[in-house]
Structure formats: C-alpha cells, structure tokens
Structure 1
Amino acid sequence: MGKKRLIWQIYPVFLFVIATVLLAVLFYTSHFFRIFYYNQTANDLDIRAQIVKYQIEPMIESGSFSEIDKVCKSLGAAGASRITIILPDGRVIGDSDENPDAMTDHSDRPEFKDAINEGSGISVRFSGTLGKNMMYLAIPIRSAEGETSPNGGQDSKTIAVVRNAVSVTMIDNELAGLHRKILWAGIIIAACTAAISWAVAKRLARPIEQMTETARNFASGDFNHRLSIPDTTELAALAKTLNEMARQLADRIDIIKRDKNETQAILSSMIEGVLAIDYKGYIVSINNAAAELLKIDKTAAHGKSVEEIIRNPQFIEFTENTLTEKQLIEADIPLTDNGGRFLRLHGTALTDSREQKIGAVIVMHDITRIHQLEEIRRDFVANVSHELKTPITSIKGFVETLLDGAMKDPVQIKRFLNIIARHSERLDAIINDLLALSRLEEDDEKRKLSFEEHHLKPVLVSAVELSKIKAEQKNITVELVCDQDITAKINSALIEQAVINLIDNAVKYSPENSTVIVNAQKTPNEIVIKVIDQGCGIERQYLDRIFERFYVIDKARSRKLGGTGLGLAIVKHISGVHGGSVTVESSLGSGSSFIIHLPAD
C-alpha cells in the first residue's frame, strides 16, 4: 500500500470533524424546531378549546345542540381551526367544517378516549373526513353533578368533549423552509471551513516537506545546506535541531578524518591502561599502565591469549563481549587478587578499511578511589535512613506492645509512653532539621494581611475597569452582575487582583467580539464570584493541575499570549488566605467558569 502525503492525512480528518459537527447541529436543530412548533401548536389548540368549552357548556346543559353547531362554524371560520363537539357516546353534535348529522361515530378516536379517561388528549394522524394530516387536541366538559363516589362525595360527569384541530401541513411547510435555510447555512459554513482547513493543512505540511528534502541532502553527505526556521514553535525547534545536527556531523567527520592517523600515538601516550587483542583473543599490544594495573609482564604477555595471562573470569568475559559487540561497551570489575582494586573497562571492536573486524581495544581506568567514595555515600544514605527509621520502628514496636496487652499494667504504660515520647521528640527534631529549607519558602507576609468588611461590588467594578484595556483590544465586553448589598470580610486589594487575573485569563483565551461575565452571588454559606468566558475550554484531564505554579497546558500558545503560568496559582493562594478556595468548570469547546468561593461570615 502506497504512502500518503501528510496533507492527505490531515485534511480528511479536518473535513470529517467539520462534517460530523455540522450534521449533528443540523439534526439537533431540525429536531428541536419540530418539537417546538408542535408544542406551540398544541398549546394554541388547548387555549382555543378552553374558550370554546366555556361558550358552549351552558348550551350542552340546556340541550341546545343546534346552536352548538352554529357556534362551532362561527368560531372555526374566525380561528382557522376545526372545532368538533362530541357527546360521551361518540355522537357529533357540532363541527365547524362538516354537517354533524353526516359524521360517523367518534368514540374510537384516540384523542376522544384520552380526554374521557385522562382529562385531555392529543393526537397527530390522518383525517379520513378531510383527507390530510391533522393535529387534534380534546378536552372534556364535565358537569358539577355526577354519581355519588364511595366516600360520599360527588364525582364530576363528562357531558361532552371539545376537540380542536389544525392541519399539520402548515407546520411541515414552515419546518421545510427553515430546514432549507439551515441546510444552506451549513453548506456555506462547511465550504468556508473546508477552505480554511485546506490552508491550515498546507501550512502544516509545507515545512515538513522542506525538512524531508533537507534530510535527504544530509543523508547524501551535503551538510552545508540549512533549513529556514518556520513560525511554528515545534517545527522551529525541529529545524534548529536538524541544522545543529548537520553542523555537528560535519565537524565530527572532519575530526575523524584528521585524527585517524593519530590514533595509535594517542593510545600509547595515555596514562590509562590500554590492551589490544586480535579477533582470536590474543594480545597484540599492551601499554605500561595496563601491565601495572594487571600486574603482568608486558613482554611475556605479547602474543599470548587473554585467558592464559589474566586469570580473572569477569575480565575474560568482557573481552569476549567486546569482540562480538559492534558498539562501545563498558563494565566495572573487581581485581580480588590485586590488592582489592576496581577497574572500569571500556571496550570497542577494531575494524579495517573494509569494515571487517580485526580485533578489539580495551581501555582500563583505576576507579578504586571512586568506588571507595561511593561506599561512603551509600553508608551516609543508610545512616540517614536509619536515623529516621529507628525512632519510627521503636514507636511502632512499643505501640504494638501496648495494644497486645501491656495497657493493663500502669507502670509499663508510663514507661512505654515515656519511651515513645522521647523517640517522637527525636523524630520531630530530625524532621524539623530536614524541613528547614522548606520553611524558607513560607509566605510570612500573609500573617500581616488585614481583612475588613467591604462592599464587594466596588471591588469588582474596579477589577473590571482595570481589565477593560485588554478586553477592548479584542472587542470583548466584560459584564458585571453583582448586588449592591453584598458584603464580605476581605482584603480588597487581593480580591481585586484575583478577579483581574481571572478576567485577564478569560480575555486571553476568548475569541474576539465575545463576552466575559463576572457574576457575584451570596448564599447562606458562601460568597461566589464567577468569571465566565466563551473561550476554547479546557480538557478534563488538565483541570486538576491548572492551578499549579508554572503549569500551562499549551506552552507555545501560553508564550504567544504572554502567560507565565502563575496567574491561577496566585488566585488559588489569595482564595486560600481568605479561608476559601477556587474551582473551575469547563469542557473543551464550551468555555470555562472560574469560581472563587469565600466564606459568608
């Protein structure tokens, strides 16, 4: 299967997302308006039916059925709806469109049954009389007198049913027109968005294509070519890395070529031990430092196998690995029969001009002193751990002893508790020493803060005014909703700063021509200050960390917008010193609401 270009991997995804969102919006809008129109029509029919009910109820009670038909025809012509009056036995005694004597029994109509049994009925169905789809709404007319109920009271009796109906063809026509408008709007939006997506995809793919071509040049040995730096932060970093890689490769190749003939001289002059062997494991060269470290005769070792001269299994295994591995390897080994020394070995294979292995070279470093220092460090860590663990272990042991039965002996209790107290004091002293540096980060200024009863609205008004400059740059409206009588015990300067930070944050991540709302409310338990934006929103996975110092979700965008990662942390700190907290409600693409919770008292 052929490889696809990057743009044809990005662009179809954009189109798919756009199409999916538009189809979902179109479906939801169509469904919503259909329900809305039907509900509105049903409400209108109910109101009209109630009016008809009050006009004909006296006629039904008096038995003036002929007058009822005239009223139906008069009201039906005036209201553009069909009105039908049906007796409980299903007989029609009045209809605005037809002669009631010629109409069939209506007792089987679903809306009639629901009106009799449930107090009202609605039905959308095909009318055989009129030959079109109709919406019917029926309500009962009940008399004040009826049969005696089991509890001795009087149950009302249905004496007729008022049915009001309109054609749903008009509703369908209205919805069809609305659907066409929505469809055309969706098509236009899809076309515009597709064009924008194509431009974005091209812009993303172009620098990568350029980097691919430059990488081919690097692979062919042309390290003089350099990439131009794109505007995108990530691609710019990649371009800079590739340019730096090319420069370093060129420098290293020059160094390798220049130093190739000097290798032997360098190895022979090294103070570290150097051992060279052929591909069969025989010693071909050994310098004085290596002979001294291994305590062997340099002259006698030449031409002998490593196993014959050096009686150390780990060293022998290392030489075998060096001959088989293609890369540099290293290992630390002890020389137990040589005064307890430790060697660090570096081994690499040697190749000829045809890249065929001809042997290996092993460089030896005496790390006995380093090993001793490492032992000292491990001992120190162990001691510190022991100093912390000892009192904890003692406390745990004496507590378990008390729980196992020693609590019945007052003398033992006092003795054990004194021991526990001493170990606790010791542990406390150790912890206090370890936390000394942490105490330096404590904010001593918070102890000097003054909190006074203030009206909250002037503080919020000031914060909004101070934030308007940035908002106006993006034509963003900042609206304030706050009652005049809300008061709180606060440090007004800090609360103002917190609200400014939240407004600035909302403005920063909101689109142009949008609205930011600052809403303050007082409940019996707390005062809530909300800053609501219409921005891009925050994914759920980041909500728990956005109040951490220097934490930003999109570092590139944060730098572009001037964010430092401290604003929300400051808001959290200010809320905390007031005895409150700050929370956030957000979802991707739906804006965000940052909420400061302050105590009501």
Structure 2
Amino acid sequence: MHKLKFRLVFAILSMTLLVMASLGLIIGQVYKNIYENHLTDRLMKEAELAAYTIESHEGDEIDEQLLASRMSERLDARVTIIAVDGTVLGESATDPSTMDDHYERPEIRAIREGRPEIEIRYSDTVNQELYYYAVPYEIEGTEAGYVRIGVATQTITNLNETIWWILAVSFTIAFVVIGTITYRIANEMIKPIENASEVAIELAEGNFKARTFEGKKDEVGQLTRSMNVLAYNLEQITKRHEAQQERLETLINNMGSGLIFINARGDISLINQRCHDIFQEDTNVWLNQLYHETIKFKELIKIVQAVFITEKRHREQITLVNGLDTKHFDIHAAPIMSEMGIMKGIVLVLHDITELKKLEQVRKDFVANVSHELKTPITSIKGFSETLLDGAMKDPVYLEKFLTIIYQESERLQSLIQDLLELSKLEQHYFSLNWGKADLTKITEDVVELLRPKARDKGIKLNLHGDTNARLEMDGDSERLKQIAINLINNAITYTPNDGRIDVSIISIKESIEFVVQDNGIGMEKAELPRIFERFYRVDRARSRNSGGTGLGLAIVKHLVEAHNGKLSVSSELGMGTTFKVIFIRNQQRKS
C-alpha cells in the first residue's frame, strides 16, 4: 500500500514539476521579451533625446567628446557621435581618434537606407556585447551626423538570471508546499485504504474482531464502513458457528454412548470422550488414523467393513473383553451418504448395555431363586398332604407329625412371600419412611429381649453393650430401625454355632450413632462379602434354610439403611465370625 501512496505522490509531483517548468519557461521568456521591448523603446527615446541635445546647441561651438561623455553619464549608456562620413567625433567609452571609421556600421547603414533598427553585436572597444541604435541629427536643416546609443546586453542577461532565480526559488517553495500538501492529501486518502487492506488481511487470517477507522462521508469512508460491517457480520457468523460447534462438541463429548466417525478413506475423523472410557486408552491419538490400525477389537472392525461393503445400516450386540474388564455393547453403524448417493463415511455408535445385561441376569437369577425357594416348601406341603391322604392321617402319631411339618412349611412360605413383598415395597420409588424421633437404645433392648429365647435355645450368649441409661435418639422410622436390628441379630444367631457368643453395641460418636452386631460364628471368605446383600444369597444354604431364613434379610437391611441415609459395612474372617456395622446420622433433614 505504501507503493500506491508513493506512486500517487510521484505522479502528482511529476505533473506539477512539468507544469511549473513549462510555466517558468513561458514566464521567463515573456519577461525577457517585455524587458527587451522596454530596452528598445529606451534606446530609441534616448537616441532621439541625444540628437535633440546636439541640435539644441546649433550655432554654438560643440565639443562632441565632452557632450558624448556627459550624455553617457546621464543615460547610463555608451554614446557615440559620428560624422556623416563615418568619422567618430565623440565617444564616451574611449578616445575617438583611435576608433575606426563607422560609416559601414550596420546601424549607420540602416539609417542611410531609411530603416533604422537595433543591432546586437560584440564590441572590441568595451569588450562586451551591446545593443546599438542610431539616429541622425541636423544642424541648420542639414544632416550633420549620427548619434548612436549602446546598452550592454549583460543587463538583459542579469535581468534574466534574476528572473530565473526568482522563478526557481518561487517554484521550489511552491513545489515543496505542493509536495507536502499532496503527501498529506495522499496519506489521508491512502491511510483508510491501507487500514482497510490490513483489516482485509486480518479477516482473511480469521481475526474477525479487526476494525478499520471510519473516515469522512466520502467514497473511502463508505469503503471503510462497508469493511467494518463485513467484519462485524463475519464475527457474528463466526460466533454463531463457534457456539454451534461448541454445543455440538459438548453434546457429542457428553453423550452416554461412544461415537466414532470414519470418513470414506477409512480415517477416524471424529471420536468423542466417551470412547476414552470404553476403550480405556487415549483415543485422541486415533484421529486421522486408519480405523483397522487403531481399533484392536475385531468385532468392531467387522461391523465397519460390513457397512463399507453393503452401504446399509448395521446393528449388533457384541461383548468386548479388555483385560479383566468385560463389557457389552449395542452397536449401531450407519453409512453417511451425500445427496448424490456417494458414501462420505460411517458413523459408529457404541451404547454400553453392560448394566442392562447385569440387570437382566439379576432378573433371571431372581426368578430362578424365587422359583426354587417357593418350590421347596410347596413340594413339602404337597408331599406330606398326599401322604396323609393316602392313609397316614389314620395314625395319630403321623398325623400330628406331618401336620406340624405342613404348618412349618406354610410358615416358611408365608415368611418368604412377606419378605418378597417387603423388598418389592422398599425398591419402589414412592417408598418413604415415617420420620420421627427414634430411641435406638430402647429399640435395641426390645429386639435383644425378643430374640434372647431363640439364642438361648442354641446356648448362645446374646450381650448388649453400651450405656443403656443414656438414651440415644435419632431421626428415623422406629419400626424400620427395629426391622434392621431384628434382621441383623437374627442373622447372627442363624450363623453362630451352639454355645457361641453375640455382642450388640450402641456407640455414640459426635453427631452419629454406631450400631454393631458381632458374632463368633462360621464367618465367610472375603470373596463372598460383596455378594451377601444380594437377594437369596446364602453363605451356608443348608443352615440358612433349616433355620427358616428366606435369604432376603440382608437385602432388606441394605435398603432400609440407605433409606435412613446411613452407612452399612461388614467385616468377616472364615471360622472367626462376622461383624456388621451401621452408622446412623442423629439429626438430618426429615423426609415425609
């Protein structure tokens, strides 16, 4: 842009210089012609005056030399008085006797020919070029001679030099002024264009915040305003695009499913953050890499290849084993087609259905366990009923024995159904506790006294520890807290052998209460600890079933503790016993 400014200034100054030079030549020549005309008139008039002066001395004795000298002083010019025959009578510049005959001098000859004119020639007498003009003079009516006036041409030369010097100085000043003004005007004109050009470059490089200075309301100002409007529109479009891009990236990266886009060349062009968790590696390095070189699961590669070949949607459930981690996925693969029907790539969606598979397995196990648990008492009831109907009822001993067994199995069946209904209720979303102030000390004392006969039948010592005089109150549902205590203590009695020991403790710790049930029963292996709160899970199935247990007690306890916002933990060692610990918060937000 600087080149444009300098070209503009150079063009204007060159034109100005040309015009001023031409104008200077014309003015100089005009002034020269004017002065020459003025000098010609002066020569003619001074020559006439000199002739008149000589003629005025008619009748007097004339000293031509003296007269020539005096007139020269008065006229500031060379004066020569010449006789008719060409003899020099008087000369202001030198001794006339030393001078040649002037009869054939051009200015004298011109008088004789009747055409007086100015002659210009070099004079050896005065060693310079002179303008000459001569006129005749008369004495007593007769032509007596000639008077010649000479003026040095140096006068014209000096005048021309003065004129040219003045013109040069004037034009130089004018040129500088014009150049300065031109530069400023050009700068004022070009600067907005330079700014607009710089802004255009910034816009081309993606900086849409760039703005140019808006000048006057002329064409350049209109250009800069248009540039700013363009920049603003591009900025807004970019902001909207970036916002849409950000929303899209946020949506893609926060999807619950993995998303992979593979272009038509087989390169992975897009992969979301969820894939990082699925494949358990930095999937960002997969970008712009061939899918079959980065994806290590053959099942996925086969799905992608199938879509590339058929150009049709494909859905399949697969299992991916990554180290010790096994996950199940529902894979949706679809081709991306252009309006012309050309495949642009493939989008791959990986929906993790591992939890659904686990829930499905839990459901199957639950149905199987319920069926098994119901089958046993029903089979017993049916079998003993058939035995009685076949004639055993006639024997009073067998009748009482079998009816007792039928009653016990009915009790067990009723207990199982009741626990199932209770567990189902606890798992409903609308389940809620009857909040109030609960005395955990009294609840525990009542449960211990309730179960003490059962423990005594097995010779088990059931001990309650803690300051029973200090009532430990908390926010909770008294009936549900009692249910927790019954299940935990009853579970300890079930798995503690005869002559064992069970310790129940209630401990106050700051804003919480610890409820602990510890026994020295059969215990369990650490591998079984995570599963003991599952429905129908039993450490010793025969012992539990013989004791009348349903296998749902600990599952119910887990739900009730969570409903009270408490924490349930268990520690155990095989053959050494088990300890259940529940931590309740004393004061908490009550829920209706």
Q: Note whether the superposition's TM-score is higher than 0.5.
A: no
Q: TM-score, with normalisation over the residues of structure 1?
A: 0.36
Higher relative contact order (CA 8 A, sep 6+): 2
Query: Larger Rg: 1 or 2?
Result: 2
